[in-house]
Chain A
Amino acid sequence: MPRINSPAELEAFRKDIISKRDPDKPCIAVCTGTGCLALGAAHVVTALKEEVKKQGLKTKVDVRETGCPGFCERGPLLVIYPEEICYLQMQPGDAQEIVSQTIVAKKVIDRLLYVVPSTDKDEKIVQESEIPFYKNQMRNLIGNNIKIDPKSIDDYLAVGGYSALAKALCQETPEQLVNLVKSSNLRGRGGAGFPAGIKWEFARKSADKTKYVIVNADEGDPGAFMDRALLEGNPHSVLEGLTIGAYAIGSHEGYIYVRQEYPLAVENAGIAIKQAEEYGFLGKNILGSGFDFTIKMHQGAGAFVCGEETALLMSLEGKPGEPRPRPPYPAVKGLWGKPTNINNVETWANIPLIINNGPDFLTSIGTEGSKGTKIFSLVGKVNNTGLVEVPMGITLRDIIYKVGGGIPEGKKFKAVQTGGPSGGCIPEEHLDIKVDFDELAKVGAIMGSGGMIVMDEDTCMVDVARYFLDFLSDESCGKCSPCREGIRQMLKILTNISEGKGREGDIELLEELAEATGDASLCALGRTAPNPVLSTIRYFRDEYEAHIKEKRCPAYVCKELISYYIDPDKCKACMICLRKCPAQAIIGGKNQIHVIDQEKCTKCGTCFEVCPDRFGAVTRLSGEPVPSPIPEEARIIAGKSKKDE
């Protein structure tokens, strides 16, 4: 590939790529992000490619493997261009029909379309952008994911890629760039929400020849995968943002710190760095501007705390990821003691948009204090699990119901957890608050990096708090005692409560410990660790009290507090639960009412799940004794049913 030496050459090269592409040539874009791959997208791609070849259309149809557009719930999915037909839940067996019907005969295949739920007639939607899940989003950052092959730099160039870099390097001074980002009011997307422009300014003003810029892609919150989708689906946008930032700050060496648990992101980012070097977007004298910059990738080795910037720096230096006190902030003393600017993946990906479209592009969207869009991973008990990008200021209710399609199986909404292990649970009464950095903090949660876990009536809030504390006690690095001991003690109390060993005064003790841990811990991990506890106590105190006083788990989750019981009047002795019970804890036989041996029962819930709805014989009990089993001679039900006679 020829090296591109100037903005003019870049534009000529881009024109050349676009002119060689026929916009009317059918293109089947299949999502091959991690979610769809887990659902079998690779087989779909192979089947499509084979089919295209078989029907002699190899030169007439493109099959493109793209990044994640976000609708994981209905994967594997694909979009056929130029008509933008969206097919969901694909199987390799559908390939033949897609090629012969949709590509050749231009007919839409009804059964693969999105069906609008809960309408009388089966209303179907053909175009991707018309599906409610997408329609209510604003996809500035992830919108390109389905349009480009993340392994192809030409695809990125075809959608305007690296034009912001050319503009920044050749038309703006570093000071202008810092001011541009400052006036866009871009706040860091990693969790803390610190203004990116101000951070850049600190690093720019630090008087040292050697400076570093870093992409924090150590996305550790369980249930969050926004950054992965960006780095995996559109890696060049992150590289472009980082390079612009490096130029603005005066750095010539950048790092991408990515978790090794994201193999596809590591692969795609690695390919992107190589391609950018070949094209001259990285290396010496980038686009003839005289600016030199290289990027190296560093894989995290599995430690949640390394998402904290000072711990990340330790890890980059090859040491255990233990945070250190701030100040000095990394902008003054960072990697190897040099000024360092660390931003999250999503923050960096915003930079090219700001440079290309001006700061108003961001400031025109959002609320007073939070501008632009934010990507959330909407997961848990919600119909449309996936990645959603929405304007700041949208309500939680709109995200969960309009985009997310509400709660499955007609269950009742209980809470939404935002911000991962540092965040809090927000109940129904606050669903109409506007989602931004400040509003979420007011109700005891945080926006965090963008995890959003929806919980329904079957979720126990004590168990959720215990879950997060368990996670955090495992991930606490142990360096400072308030975090190490505080979390451990809170976890101990929560575990006791969920096991029915809770005592009067435990809630107050939890609150006291939470305050001490939050005030005295060294880094954000410990300082925010009390949030899951405090927010669940604040909104769901009655659940805590039920566990402590009545030894009852209202959501039937805490194993020690629940029992499964087969109602002898309803049991039809169908043998289903008896056969499926992994613990062989069900006694009975054909025509013999089944009884659960409470001693053997592991409370896995299999019997409750498999008992046919029309019988509904298996019930859950909590806070009440299990009725003693009926005597063996009364268990025979032959004669009761006419069929058996």
Chain B
Amino acid sequence: MANKKVSTAAMGSSKIDKIIAKYQGNAGSLIQVLLEIQSENRWLPREALDKVSKKLKVPLNRIQHIVTFYKAFSLVPKGRHEVHVCTGTACHVRGAPRLLDSVQDLIGIRPGETDLDLKFSLETVNCLGCCALGPVMVVDGEYHGKMAPAKSEEVLKSYE
């Protein structure tokens, strides 16, 4: 996963046009279009949703329904570093709740939140599928396995 630059402004509308064009303006592709914008921009600004609504001829309230229903979408900007703590069952029985508690204490935010300096965003994930490494924490795509509360402090300190 590349460490993309954070942009808090809306992404260029030409990029959105390109993505929409790729799916031939098909309203059935709404989720795919939104996923691509999310992955490109890391969050969905209001301007982008307006544009998608107009181009695909889908009412904004339906788009709002979609982006709040599915977990992949974010309506707020993300921090420079995305921290994912796996809370899958295997990680859970290996102590993920204690890990999550200490990560929350360390960076001062709860899952789904971004800190005010836009440094960290914290998310929980249901399973990363590398259960042999559990409990697992991923920061900007880099896996940190067999984590313990004390170890998480060392890892998080290394990010600027």
Contacts and interface: CB of A to CB of B under 8 A. Distances in A.
Interface in B61-84: 65-66, 69-73
A381 B27 CA distance: 46
Nearest to A301: B70
A609 interface: yes
B149 interface: yes
Interface in A458-472: 458-459, 464, 467-468, 471
A455 interface: yes
Given A301-B70, A321-B69, A602-B101, A222 B87 contact: yes
A494 interface: no
A302 B71 contact: yes
A34 B31 contact: no
A586 interface: no
A233 B109 CA distance: 37
A468 B31 CA distance: 27
Q: Classify chain B's interface size.
A: 35 or more
B73 A583 contact: no
Contacts of A605: 95, 98, 149
The CB with the most chain A CB atoms within 10 A, among B32, B34, B87, B129, is that of B129
Contacts of B90: 222-223, 379-380, 385, 453
A604 B35 CA distance: 37
Contact of A225 (B69, B98, B129): B129
Given A222-B126, A377-B131, A385-B131, A455 B69 contact: no
Contacts of A34: 128-130
A75 interface: yes
A318 B89 contact: no
B32 to A, nearest CB: 7
* Interface majority SS (helix, strand, loop, mixed), chain B: helix
Given A303-B71, A464-B93, A604 B32 contact: no
B21 interface: no
A152 interface: no
A417 B65 contact: no
B105 interface: yes
A73 B132 contact: yes
A42 to B, nearest CB: 11
A477 B69 contact: yes
A223 B131 contact: yes
A604 B128 contact: no
Contacts of A386: 132
A228 B129 CA distance: 9
Contact of A380 (B89, B125, B129, B148): B89
B150 interface: yes
A304 interface: yes
B143 interface: yes
B149 A302 contact: no
Given A73-B132, A301-B73, A453-B89, A223 B28 contact: no
Q: Which 3 A-B pairs have the closest CB atoms?
A: A302-B71, A301-B70, A225-B129
8 contacts: A34-B130, A39-B143, A299-B31, A379-B89, A380-B94, A420-B89, A455-B93, A582-B149
